[in-house]
Amino acid sequence: MCCTGDDLVRVLATLSNPHRVRVVAALAGGRNYVSRLARELDISRALLQVHLKKLEAAGLVSSRLELSEDGKAMKFYEVNPFSVHLTPEFLASAAETLTIEKGSPR
């Protein structure tokens, strides 16, 4: 037991976008940096950055800024291992720690 119901909802919301699923899938095969990942997934870099931010905000990926040998700053992303067993019973327990306030996404 580690996450609140709100955290779960945030994770599910984050993974409810095909682009972000593909990003996680790509990173599951190994870490990568933004520009290259954008080329491999064939999406714009700006779009990828937005999705990466959401994934990181949800705790699904981590980033690390590194300097390549030729001095260029490159931001590497990698997946944080996670495991959620989605069942009605699990949702029932998660619902106990769920706030319903309006304008809550944050």
**Sign of torsion over alpha carbons 67, 70, 72, 77:** negative
Of a second copy, DNA, none, which one sits near residue 57, judging by CB under 5 to 8 A according to partner kind? Answer: none
How many other CB atoms are there within 10 angstroms of residue 52's CB atom?
A: 21
Rounded Cα distance between 47 and 19, Å, is: 9
Contact 69, 80 (CB under 8 A): no
How many other CB atoms are there within 10 angstroms of residue 82's CB atom?
A: 13
In the DSSP assignment, the letter for residue 80 is P
* Nearest approach, Cβ of residue 22 and DNA (Å): 10
- Tell whether residue 105 is a contact of DNA (CB under 7 A): yes
| Contact set for a second copy, span 1-20 (CB under 8 A) | 5-6, 8-9, 12-13, 15-19
- Tell whether residue 35 is a contact of a second copy (CB under 8 A): no
Of a second copy, DNA, none, which one sits near residue 88, judging by CB under 5 to 8 A according to partner kind? Answer: a second copy
- Which residues form the interface with DNA (CB under 7 A)? 13, 16-17, 19, 33-36, 43-47, 49-51, 53-54, 63, 65, 70-75, 102-103, 105
